[in-house]
Amino acid sequence: MAASNAIRGTRVGSSAVRWAESPSDRTETVARKTVDYWCANGHRSEQTFAADAEVPSIWDCPRCGLPAGLDADNPPPRPRIEPYKTHLAYVKERRTPEEAEAILAEALQRVRARRGE
């Protein structure tokens, strides 16, 4: 009883530890740096980059989606466009109702022609 417990514990425990503490894993770890970004809502978000990577000056705030910058006292301004628009709103922006009617009529014509009507 006690023997079988010991075997099971050793197997599971030791393999897990060896994996995490493997020296080869440690040597392959890339040097990293952590950078703080600040958005207009005062959210701080940490982003981690490779130490030799170029740090972007703007990063989208993961909490509210506003652009966040590196200067806590001077975050990037809120964008003036409203953040969310329905797909229909975009379509309406691109096409007038008349154009939509014309496109629809043309499509119907093509369908009818294919059917031999």
Q: Which residues bind Zn ion (CB under 5 A)?
A: 39, 41, 43, 61, 63-64
Residue number, 61 or 69, with CB nearest to Zn ion: 61
> Taking the complex as a whole, how short is the minimal distance between the CB of residue 50 and Zn ion, in angstroms?
24
Residue number, 13 or 79, with CB nearest to Zn ion: 79
> Taking the complex as a whole, how short is the minimal distance between the CB of residue 96 and Zn ion, in angstroms?
37
Residue number, 35 or 64, with CB nearest to Zn ion: 64
> Taking the complex as a whole, how short is the minimal distance between the CB of residue 77 and Zn ion, in angstroms?
13
Tell me how far apart the alpha carbons of residues 47 and 55 are, in angstroms, rounded to a whole number.
9
Q: Which long-range contacts (CB under 8 A, 24 or more apart) does 70-78 make?
A: 70/35, 70/36, 70/37, 70/38, 71/38, 72/36, 72/38, 72/44, 75/38, 75/39, 75/40, 75/42, 76/39, 76/40, 77/40, 78/40
Residue number, 9 or 42, with CB nearest to Zn ion: 42
> Taking the complex as a whole, how short is the minimal distance between the CB of residue 69 and Zn ion, in angstroms?
11
